[in-house]
A and B are shown apart, each in its own frame.
Chain A
Amino acid sequence: MRVTGKNSGRFSALRLLKEALIGHRGWKPGWRNPVPKKKYDVIIVGGGGHGLATAHYLASKFNITSVAVIEKGWIGGGNVGRNTTIIRSNYLLDGNEPFYEFSLKLWEGLEQDVNYNAMVSQRGILNLIHTDAQRDAYRRRGNAMMLNGADAELLNTEQVRAECPFLNFDNNRFPIKGGLVQRRGGTVRHDAVAWGYARSADSHGVDIIQNCEVTGFRIRNGKCSGVETSKGFIGAKKIGVAVAGNSSRLMGMAGMRLPIESHVLQAFVSEGLKPIIPGVITFGAGHFYVSQSDKGGLVFGGDIDGYNSYAQRGNLPVVEDVCEGGMALMPMIGRARLLRMWGGIMDMSMDGSPIIDRTGIEGLYFNGGWCYGGFKATPGSGWVFAHLLATDEPHRTATELRFDRFQRGYMIDEKGSGAQPNLH
């Protein structure tokens, strides 16, 4: 059921022309600003990309429209607005790769699904190879990707040079010996993802309640019946929490301790430049990744700062480290001036992989632990979480993303660095 009028804020060339003539006074908000009802079938805590996607898929694919998304700030103001906008599905392990490939396929149909231009651009992601051992590892990874229906292509030095002539191929310590490329990877306009999902969910009858902070869960006899909020108690049959970054704080209100630490990850954007970088490029000898936004800015990042943090800003040693990585990979970056830098808070899990699962509390469901790979997972996470909330069964691509995998010894540890969150 679509509850908003067709003129609520739909964009088209004709509409833009018409609005230009009348001073843009006819635009209306893309979604309502409703007063919370007393009770819903499902409450999603967290109006970020994952929460809004969950609401969209609950309403549009699982036909559950009595849904509220509760957000303490404004939607899209958290990590969906603070990431480096990269999408890809180049994972190795069976617990991860089917899920991320499912998510990438959803990206490919996202704009038609939500009827919103999210600027999904499959410009490719290139992981550079610097040693023979790394080539072997990437060949294995590419094969694992293809076994799960993803695309992968191994390039030699000359093929990389043809696509990215500006890279420093003859770096004495880290010469470039090739690359693993996923052509279907790329970038997406991150804010539009939040807005598109929000408008679509709203049009299906989902209530998006902003500036409403959850202050507690009402739990009796092991059953959760709703949330206490700054706008009063709101009841629900099922509550899904999707607040990565603050997962420990929120689930702490339900008496749970999580296998998660919160860490800050910094990101950077340069001044606008002419088109120079064709896709997403990652350095294989350090932690550095870069792409160029459609506005021309180089968007790049590297490692997390490495200590527990809830501050949305980092420190200078990592800034230096990231910039050194950039200079080693493409010395021309030294000519660009840095325009902005910021930090976002990550749920760093104990094996570097996410959790989408029931909890020990009936009616309470959890989605988090995204480390710094949450953005690319947005559609998949939303669909899979909606599936779990609607059916009480994990989606076929998320059967290993369980809470108890740590206790049972089934970690999904892509890097093999163990229970040390700042190394993932």
Chain B
Amino acid sequence: MIIDHPLLGPRDSAEFTYLGDASLIDRPDWQDKKAACKFYEYLYLRDNPAGEHRELWYHEAGDRSWLVVTRNTVTHEITKVELARSVAKARGRSK
């Protein structure tokens, strides 16, 4: 698989380390009244879709940026690559 890095251009996926579902960006608030339940869901439960999947890849052998890659889990086709930082900022994180 080739990941089209937003800053570096097309890179071999072997340069990256895979973390998992991009929902891991949305870490729950530890002070939430339902924090225990929310952390259980955040940490352990996954949608695991067959089809389009947004996921986190780390460019370990490159610029060490975190990317949000939109990839089809049935065909392995990659349709979108974003910097995780931009995605998190757009959701009001990492101000």
Contact = CB atoms under 8 A, between A and B. Distances in A.
B46 A309 contact: no
B74 interface: yes
Nearest to A316: B14
A350 B20 CA distance: 12
Interface stretch (A45-53, A105-113, A258-266): A258-266
B40 A308 contact: no
A308 B13 contact: no
Interface in B58-95: 71, 73-76
A248 B76 contact: no
Interface stretch (A131-139, A374-382, A415-423): A415-423
Contact of B43 (A248, A260, A419): A419
B50 A262 contact: yes
Contacts of B50: 246, 249, 262, 310
A36 interface: no
Given A248-B46, A306-B18, A317-B14, A407 B40 contact: yes
Contacts of A350: 43-44
A315 interface: yes
A308 B20 contact: yes
A73 B19 CA distance: 32
A261 B40 contact: no
A307 B55 contact: yes
A61 interface: no
Contacts of A422: 18, 20
A258 B48 CA distance: 8
B52 to A, nearest CB: 11
A419 B44 contact: yes
Interface string B41-55: 101111111100101
Interface in B7-65: 12-14, 18-21, 40-41, 43-50, 53, 55
Interface in A228-271: 246, 248-249, 252, 257-262
A406 interface: yes
A393 B81 CA distance: 47
Interface string A42-74: 000000000000000000000000000000000
A273 interface: no
A129 to B, nearest CB: 28
A276 interface: no
Contacts of B41: 257
B48 A261 contact: yes
A311 interface: yes
A331 B45 CA distance: 42
B18 A406 contact: no
Contacts of B55: 307-308
Contacts of B40: 406-407
Nearest to A246: B50
A309 B73 contact: yes
A248 B44 contact: no
A407 B21 CA distance: 19
A168 B31 CA distance: 55
A262 B47 contact: no
Nearest to B16: A307
Contacts of A261: 20-21, 46, 48
A259 B75 CA distance: 23
Nearest to B69: A307
29 contacts: A248-B47, A248-B48, A248-B49, A249-B48, A258-B46, A258-B48, A259-B44, A259-B46, A260-B46, A260-B48, A261-B46, A262-B48, A262-B73, A306-B18, A307-B13, A307-B18, A307-B55, A307-B71, A308-B48, A308-B55, A309-B73, A310-B74, A311-B74, A311-B76, A315-B1, A317-B12, A406-B43, A407-B40, A419-B44
10 cross-chain pairs, A with B, having the tightest CB-CB distances, nearest first: A248-B48, A310-B50, A317-B14, A259-B44, A257-B45, A406-B44, A307-B18, A407-B40, A350-B44, A308-B73
Given A249-B48, A311-B76, A317-B12, 9 more contacts: A258-B48, A260-B46, A307-B13, A307-B55, A317-B14, A350-B43, A350-B44, A406-B43, A420-B20
Interface of A: 246, 248-249, 252, 257-262, 306-311, 315, 317, 350, 406-407, 419-422
